[in-house]
Homo-oligomer: A and B are copies of this chain.
Amino acid sequence: MIEGANFLGNTRSKENSNFLQAFNPATGEALPDKFFIATTSEIQRAMEMATEAFEAYKALSAERRADFLCRIGEEIMALGDKLIQQAVTESGLPEQRLIGERGRTVNQLKMYADLLREGSWVDARIDRADPERQPAPKPDLRNMLFPIGPVVVFGASNFPLAFSTAGGDTASALAAGCPVIVKAHESHPGTNELVTKAILQAAEKTAMPEGVFNSLLGRAETGRQLVLHPMVKAVAFTGSYKAGRAIFDAAAARKVPVPVYAEMGSINPVFLLPEKLHSDPSALAALLAGSVTLGHGQFCTKPGIIIAKKSDSLERFKQMLTEHLEGHSSSWLLNRGIAENYQKSRETLFNQEHIQILKHPTSEDEISKSAALAVVEASGFLENPAMHREIFGPFSLIIECDDQTSFEEVASSLEGQLTLTFMGTEPELAGHRRLIDIAREKAGRIIFNGVPTGVEVSPAMHHGGPYPATTDPKFTSVGTGAIRRFLRPVAFQDCPDELLPEELKEGNPLGIYRLVDGILTK
């Protein structure tokens, strides 16, 4: 059933004798299937196929590409329970979560299909000619976005479906008109294979050029080779800071540098303002416990620090949150590396000066997976960069402040974040404008009286943020805006109408929004 092959377009290829195996996080045991690591020549062939496919793929109408995306969703659904069970086995995530994630994956594909069908995403701009202008005639200029070429997508450990093989990066790149080469995540290569086959089925049924999608197996070295390949035009990655920065550095040092859109997580601070905290510490504790332990703490938007003013209400909150985390049924983490890192980074933090531990795993069995909680005074947090680092897993750190100034100092000391959250009554939020203003400089999304986990997939979402949350804060990896990562403008000057793309022809045959002589019009 599972072949363990690389997919160079439609060709299954297993040149290497080296292989990798997935592990079942629930049992810690290796799964039997062998996945053969892509050789240099397989990488080369995949890149050549993608490059050749680009010629035909970019020339297809947006409608054709939209059909392809929707069909991918249908083929994924057609895999049925087989896909869910494979993902459960490889990721250790619960079935219901993966069913939900599959729904999100399919919806993302549909969202980009809708965007393509509407058509205005090409950002068409037209400045008409004025032959009479003095001192020189004004030329006719017409500008729109075009796909950049083959994109390498790295599968993410924590989203085996929605941010891996047919996830948001793949969907937005394919929508843009760019062929994709996926580097499967080594934790869930079987899931990758099933989804790859669904994509290839969809490509065949909608008559897409072979090579529009390719999937390769391997670890960091395979990724490095892909990032350095001269035919690659962009890279999308979701994962750890360390891996993301290594990819960014490799891509920047190329003879021809390519952009890397790496989403590397963050600590997603949550500010609990005093009145709000006072009004219902128990409810806030329950809400945040749910967010900290959602997906067993393995979301890039997990609240990693919680900032609050010292008070009796805070004491109550701490007690309640501790109880919630003690009541949380521990689960295995996504893979061994993540479990080891969780344990190691948590213990490192616990050994820092001024840290007070509120909830700590006690039994040996719990040590690599149990939820944990600690508290530190703002002064301790401010002076110690080690406390600003993300701990991936069901952990959070409470920062105790003396006053509003202390809130602002903590906010000012933060590195770039995906999200920043404020829990506050309306009057006290209005009284913390400066704090919110500081937050805006630090994050890609500001949440009010909600939790950062649960990233809505929609046009107004921004899932990104200043470094080190991402390598490029101008772009989102979730929502319709994600397509922009794989597009670049080209202007046509005095081009005969018949040679222009449909989007730029004088008659606007596609009926899209265009900026004509500075005025937005259909």
Other-chain residue from B256, B445, B468 in contact with A468 (beta carbon distance below 8 A): B256
Other-chain residue from B118, B141, B433, B490 in contact with A440 (beta carbon distance below 8 A): B490
Least Cβ–Cβ distance between A261 and chain B, in angstroms: 11
Other-chain residue from B127, B257, B416, B471 in contact with A460 (beta carbon distance below 8 A): B127
Please indicate the chain B residues that have their CB under 8 angstroms from the CB of A256 in the complex.
416, 467-468
With A445-B491, A446-B495 in contact, do A143 and B460 touch (Cβ < 8 Å)?
yes
Q: Does A344 contact B (CB under 8 A)?
A: no
With A120-B520, A257-B467, A460-B142 in contact, do A448 and B493 touch (Cβ < 8 Å)?
yes
Q: Does A461 contact B (CB under 8 A)?
A: yes
Measured CB to CB, the nearest residue on chain B to A125 is B460
Say whether A459 contacts B127, CB under 8 Å: yes
With A257-B471, A443-B490, A490-B440 in contact, do A426 and B496 touch (Cβ < 8 Å)?
yes
Say whether A454 contacts B494, CB under 8 Å: no
Least Cβ–Cβ distance between A379 and chain B, in angstroms: 23
Say whether B441 contacts A494, CB under 8 Å: no
Q: Does A283 contact B (CB under 8 A)?
A: no
Say whether A450 contacts B139, CB under 8 Å: yes
CA distance A149 to B126 in the complex (A): 30
Say whether B487 contacts A474, CB under 8 Å: yes
CA distance A135 to B107 in the complex (A): 14
With A252-B252, A461-B143 in contact, do A490 and B126 touch (Cβ < 8 Å)?
no
Measured CB to CB, the nearest residue on chain B to A258 is B467
Interface residues of A in 457-490 (CB under 8 A from B): 458-462, 464, 466-468, 471-474, 476, 481, 484, 487-490
User: Which of A126, A148, A460, A488 has the most chain B CB atoms closer than 10 A to its own CB?
Assistant: A460
Please indicate the chain B residues that have their CB under 8 angstroms from the CB of A495 in the complex.
446, 448
CA distance A135 to B481 in the complex (A): 24
Say whether B426 contacts A141, CB under 8 Å: no
Please indicate the chain B residues that have their CB under 8 angstroms from the CB of A494 in the complex.
447-450
Least Cβ–Cβ distance between A88 and chain B, in angstroms: 19
A/B interface sample: 14 pairs, CB < 8 A? A120-B520, A126-B460, A142-B460, A148-B473, A248-B252, A252-B252, A259-B472, A259-B474, A443-B490, A444-B488, A445-B490, A446-B490, A447-B493, A450-B493
